[in-house]
Amino acid sequence: MNPNTHAVAFRLPHLVGGVLWLLTLLILIEVVMTYMIQFGARLSSYHPFVRLVRGIVNPMLEPVRRALPPYKTNNIDFSPLIVMMVLQLIAGFFWRL
């Protein structure tokens, strides 16, 4: 077996785990930004950073929002919590490899 192949195979699970951790962090940032915007902070929903984060995060949240709409949960959006838990479970699996 080529030694370089072994090194790549060893680092790939950690890379995937790191990317999943970064996605979890972006979801947390999106939640904080949403609260800041709702409670009148000087942050616009049209700011390029807000749009970038939402562009990355919302495709992951939308399937959960469709399955568990806020009007069925007393207007509480549980989708960030559910997606973060799933991402952390998957990341934990990759960190153990």
Residue 33 and residue 58 in contact, taking contact as beta carbons nearer than 8 Å: no
What pLDDT, on the 0 to 100 scale, is given for residue 11?
Answer: 81
Cα separation of 92 and 47, whole Å? 33
Cα separation of 37 and 47, whole Å? 11
Residue 71: pLDDT above 90? no
Cα separation of 10 and 7, whole Å? 5
DSSP state of 68: S
What pLDDT, on the 0 to 100 scale, is given for residue 66?
Answer: 93
pLDDT tens per residue, range 23-70: 999 999 999 999 999 898 888 899 999 999 999 999 999 999 999 988
Cα separation of 80 and 7, whole Å? 34
